[in-house]
Structure 1
Amino acid sequence: MPVPDAVTIQVRDQNLNILGVVDDFTSLTITPRFNAVGAFVLNISAASPKAGLLTPGNGLVIRRGSDVLMSGPIREPNWSSDEGGGTLTVNGVDDMAVLSGTTCWPNPTSAPGSQTASVYKISAVAAETAMRSLVNLNIGPGAQAARKVSNLTLAADGGHGPSITKQVNQFDNLMTVLQDIAKTASLGFRIVQVGGSLQFQVYEPADLTATAKFSFGLGNLTDASYSVTAPTCTKAVVVAGGSSSPRVVQVYTRADAAFPGPWIEQFVDLTSVDTASVDLTAQMDQAANEALTSGAAQGNLTMTPIDTPRLMFGRDYTVGDQVSCQVRDDFFADVVREVNIEFNAQGGYTAKAVIGSSDSTNNQDVVARMYQYITTAFTRLRRVETRKAA
């Protein structure tokens, strides 16, 4: 196994200043997640001179080489005593937690008493631009002082993703809204410490299915399992208006060949949208797309990869990228949803990846091929049983 760059654990204060380095830890587990809040668990001797730094209010910046694997605040330090002096276990989350603890205000630049609108409107802009605007106006540099997150900046707008038109309901959770937009636009987003600031970044995940391949035959896989869950929405019933404007109902269907049977309808509430709006169709299309994408069949692949000189986590693939893994006789391409990485004091580590796409089109293809494989296997089995019976 190749030797990866050593992990470095820096401790920061609430103003993001680096206070010191924890170089005597016994174990570290980090779980970065794609478009979701990650977590870390650090174990250190309670008698360590660095233990005093690991208190709530401070945080960690975890690096491997020059790359930041994760940064975030300490949430729960737990101390246990034994004959050896005791152990301090520090739990924390990554800086994406800022988004999960935020609501979207209908008038984000106005005071609480001036929240008169029922929705926040996004009109015909690139998905990345819309995501940056939501963060900027609610907690970023453009937010009102009482809601502004100190030291939060935004990376440059790359204009990634298709144009979207959308209404955000008052006080929807910011993380959930960003996830919905990113999912349909095939984008990733994260918050990580860059220098002395936290930076919100939007990016296009890499398609590495041709180069990042895992299989037992290639010697970079120890185990793999695959499961499939049925869709929860194959027909979106989008209802707009109905109170101050005439009701408009539109039905959107996205069949799943791998799961034939009755339709699975889901009500999508756009009753707050005025049906006289010139962009009504675009808003209804966006809402339906989000519902059908979230409700599509899900494939979930769990594997334990092994770093090799040709393929290493952090160097050749990371969370959010599309990779390929061989299950039985076929390679399945899917998104790296999260990676559980365990480091020890001797410099060794293991990584266990969870792969499962939230993209409906890709998922249907993966699920269909998996079921095609299962059908073929059962057909062969029936033929064998028929021959034995004869």
Structure 2
Amino acid sequence: MPSTALRVYVRNAALERIGQIDDYTSLTVIPRYNAIGSFVLEISADSGKANLLAEGNGLIIRTPGGDLVDSGPIRTVDWSRSKEDAGAGKLTVGGVSDTEVLARYTCWPAPGSVIGSQADAVYKISGVVAETAMRTLVNVNAGPGALAARKNTLLTLAANGGHGPTITRQLNQFDSLLTVLTDIANAAQLGFRVVQVGANLQFQVYEPVDRSGTARFAFDLGNLTDANYTTTPPTCTRALVVAGGQSTPRACKAVDRADPLFPGLVIEQFVDLTSVDTASVDLVAQMDQAAEEALTSGAGQGSLSISPIDIPLLQYGRDYSVGDTVSAKVRESWMTDVVREVTLTCTAVDGTTVKAAVGSDSGDGAVARIYKYIAQVKKDIGRLKTRRSA
């Protein structure tokens, strides 16, 4: 394998390393920020290591320098052979990152009670720091503090760093744990992941690192092969929040947020808080947060995809990673934003290539600045056209 090839190790169901795959023909791994990553590996079925690649085992993928790229369980093992093949064919192995474990669980309204005693309709988070709330949700629904029947014995929690703002919100009964964590983390500008630490899978919450001053990509710096920027129009510019109406009077509120590219566009979206008692002392905070989340998730978005080139002074896995903030030159302006996902492709012939997707799904931060930059360009063009016609 080339010196730039990714290192691949196989683990068993107990997370014990049982071998290394150093003769694969191709590997694509996509680590993602606040989402489930994936990998696909191809290997000759004649390989002496092929028997290690079985459902129930998993892969640990590292950079040539030893830094963790991603790890997770093998989900599919497909065999194929054509009449032109001289050997036994090939195996194509697919899997997901360890963060996937969070997608297996829901948020119970009363996580300390058995399923027959779920009398509450909601689970409430009130005045708690975002990281503490996220750790608690994982702990009581899947981690060490969960009911014995629900507890994942491999799952542990990293120490609480107290990251993020104070939040107040209600969760509907049996909401997806992964979806809830993603919503909280994105709103709080935090990252989370599950990674293998020793013989356990550890849930971690962290503040993304700002490397925009050192991780800079541009064609004139010689570390880009291509770049593409796209915009997506908004799906919500007016949040109609409705609370109560069941055992208490209804409370309604409209919150507007103009879109920079479509300033006159109004798109209403109903935000259902009818399960919230309008007599709650934190009703205003809950309605405001629900409106903010709806407007944020429905905001117009910008997405920047770049293909960086590893150079001695700037390499993926060493100088920047998924979740970090980097800089990229869009037309004539420098934009900074979070690396949402990276696609690493490695072959026995070409070594490893990297393609990064930079941009937020939140509509906030630098992605909004890129979006506003395009809006400003269109405004300037409109002014020029008006002057010419005059």
Which TM bucket (shorter chain)?
over 0.9
TM-score, length of structure 1 as denominator length: 0.94
Contact kept? 1:183, 1:293, Cα under 8 Å: no
Alignment match, 2:372: 368
**CA offset digits 1:299-354 (Å, max 9, x no partner):** 01111110112211111111112212112211222221111001123572100111
User: Which sits farther off after the overlay, 245-254 or 367-376?
Assistant: 367-376
Alignment of 1:52 onto 2:56: no
Counterpart check, 1:227 vs 2:198: no
SS in 1 for 2:28: strand
In structure 1, C-alpha distance between the alignment counterparts of 2:340 and 2:267, rounded to whole Å: 26
1:155 and 1:84 map into 2 onto residues whose CA distance is: 46
- Find the aligned partners of 1:312 and 1:324 in 2 and give their Cα distance: 14
- Sort the Cα spacing of 1:381 and 1:86 in 2 relative to 1 into closer, same or farther, 3 A: farther
8 Å CA contact retained: 1:223, 1:303: yes
Could you tell which deviates more after superposition, 249-258 or 274-283?
249-258
In structure 2, the partner of 1:119 is 122
The whole-number CA distance in structure 1 between the counterparts of 2:155 and 2:303 is 34
CA 1:80–1:381 in 2, change beyond 3 Å: closer, same or farther? Answer: farther
Structure 1 residue 295 and structure 2 residue 298: aligned?
yes
Alignment of 1:127-276 (within 5 A): 127-276=130-279
Question: What displacement does 1:8 show?
Answer: 2.0
Q: Which residue of 2 aligns with 1:23?
A: 22
3-state SS in 1 of match to 2:15: coil
3-state SS of the aligned residue for 1:324? strand
Taking a change above 3 Å as real, the CA distance of residues 264 and 53 of structure 1, as seen in their structure-2 partners, is same
Q: Is 2:43 the partner of 1:39?
A: no
Large movers: runs of 4+ above 4 Å: 377-383
Q: Percent identity?
A: 59
Deviation of 1:278 after TM superposition, in Å, equals: 1.0
Amino acid at match of 2:309: I
Alignment of 1:76 with 2:76, yes or no, is yes
Structure-2 residue corresponding to 1:11: 10
Q: Any residues of structure 2 matched to 1:83-102 within 5 Å, and which?
A: 83-102=86-105
Question: Match for 2:348: what amino acid?
Answer: A
Supply the distance in 1 between the matched residues of 2:34 and 2:91 (Cα, whole angstroms): 30
Residues 27, 269 of structure 1: alpha-carbon distance in 2 compared, 3 angstrom cutoff: same
**Aligned in 2, Cα 1:88/1:381: closer, same or farther, shift over 3 Å?**
farther
Of stretches 110-119 and 65-74 in structure 1, the one that deviates more from structure 2 is 65-74
* Farther off after superposition, 310-319 or 192-201: 310-319
Q: How does 1:289-328 map to 2 (within 5 A)?
A: 289-328=292-331
Shift of 1:70: 0.7
Query: 1:205 aligns to what SS in structure 2?
Result: coil
2:24–2:43 Cα contact (<8 Å) kept: yes
Any conservation in 2 of the 1:256–1:364 contact (CA below 8 Å)?
no
Normalising by the residue count of structure 2, what TM-score does the alignment of the two structures yield? 0.94
Number of matched residues?
383
The answer to which of 77-86 and 167-176 deviates more is 77-86
CA distance in 1, matches of 2:385, 2:56: 60
- Output the aligned Cα RMSD: 1.9
**Rounded Cα–Cα distance in structure 2 between residues aligned with 1:93 and 1:106:** 28
SS of aligned partner of 1:25: coil
CA deviation string 1:167-204 (max 9, x = no partner) = 11001111111111111100111011111110101111
Contact 2:325 2:337 in 1 (8 A): yes
Looking at structure 2, the residues matched to 250 and 287 of structure 1 have their Cα atoms a distance apart, in angstroms, of: 11
SS at match of 1:193: strand
Amino acid at match of 2:279: A
Asked if 2 retains the 8 angstrom alpha-carbon contact of 1:181 and 1:290, the reply is no
CA displacement at 1:281 relative to structure 2:
1.4
Q: How far is 1:381 from its partner?
A: 8.1
